[in-house]
Amino acid sequence: MTMEALPKALEVDEKSPEFKDLLPSQTASSLCISSRSESVWTATPRSKWEIYRKPIVIMSVGGAILLFGVVITCLAYTLKLGENSLKVLKMIGPAFLSLGLMMLVCGLVWVPIIKKKQKQKKKSVFFQTLKSFFLNR
């Protein structure tokens, strides 16, 4: 059976993710490089900014949304506005408050998780070198 005999629906486009899954891996090093998770073998030293960038951005955006919610809520209760505008501000203000607080807390919780992961990574690298030292004797 040739490629011409296959229906168009069964052919896999070279740009599709299925095509990449069909390709066999050549070496173990290419497997480590294509992996999304960080490996002990491909670990390169990263700066503090690269490590903590995402939690810092999440905390900053969360803090900004929280402050925006505080301002909107304060304006809703202090300004003399029309009935419809007042209802909308009283609904939107607390929504921004809760969304901002949620993002801020997620960023704050993320930092200790990253610290613990970095500590475990250092231990793992230490035990890998220790294991290779004793096995290579």
Examine residue 33 and state whether it is found in any structural domain, yes or no.
no
Examine residue 81 and state whether it is found in any structural domain, yes or no.
yes
Domain that holds residue 87: 62-119
Examine residue 53 and state whether it is found in any structural domain, yes or no.
no
Examine residue 68 and state whether it is found in any structural domain, yes or no.
yes
- Separation CA 65–CA 59 (nearest Å): 10
Class of residue 99 by CB neighbours under 10 A (exposed 0-12, middle 13-18, buried 19+): middle
The total number of structural domains in the chain stands at 1
pTM exceeds cut of 0.75: no
pLDDT value for 82: 86
Examine residue 75 and state whether it is found in any structural domain, yes or no.
yes
pLDDT value for 81: 83
Examine residue 95 and state whether it is found in any structural domain, yes or no.
yes
**Residue position matching structure tokens 């070279």:** 14
Examine residue 29 and state whether it is found in any structural domain, yes or no.
no
pLDDT tens, residue order, the chain (137 aa): 555 555 555 555 555 555 555 555 454 444 444 434 454 455 577 888 888 899 999 999 999 999 999 999 999 889 888 888 888 998 999 999 999 999 999 999 999 999 999 888 887 877 777 777 777 76
Examine residue 9 and state whether it is found in any structural domain, yes or no.
no
Class of residue 13 by CB neighbours under 10 A (exposed 0-12, middle 13-18, buried 19+): exposed
pLDDT value for 79: 86
pLDDT value for 21: 52
**39 in Cβ contact with 32 (< 8 Å):** yes
